[in-house]
Amino acid sequence: MVLSGIPGLFATDEGKAYAAVSFAGGTGLEGDPYQIATAEQLNAVRNYLGAGIYFELTKYGGK
């Protein structure tokens, strides 16, 4: 769902809005999980807790 015509802003069931985050790769499916390569992407995982969404932590070079 796009809120107020602002692309990249989505609503959850609780009515909270979150900015869409682009992951380093993947589609989120079991055979092609979202790739997490930055702290921002890792932080965004909490907004994608639905069943059937998969993630993979890549080599992380952050501090």
Q: What are the start-end ranges of the E strands in 1-63?
A: 9-11, 17-19, 34-36, 55-57
Q: At residue 1, does pLDDT exceed 70?
A: no
Determine, yes or no, domain membership for 43.
yes
Average pLDDT over residues 3-24: 60
Q: At residue 31, does pLDDT exceed 90?
A: yes
Determine, yes or no, domain membership for 39.
yes
Determine, yes or no, domain membership for 58.
yes
Determine, yes or no, domain membership for 15.
no
Distance between CA atoms of 35 and 59, rounded to whole angstroms? 10
Domain total in the chain: 1
Residues 34-56 have pLDDT tens digits of 999 999 999 999 988 888 999 99
Verdict on whether the full-model pTM lies above 0.75 = no
Q: At residue 2, does pLDDT exceed 50?
A: no
Determine, yes or no, domain membership for 55.
yes
For residue 52, give its domain range.
22-63
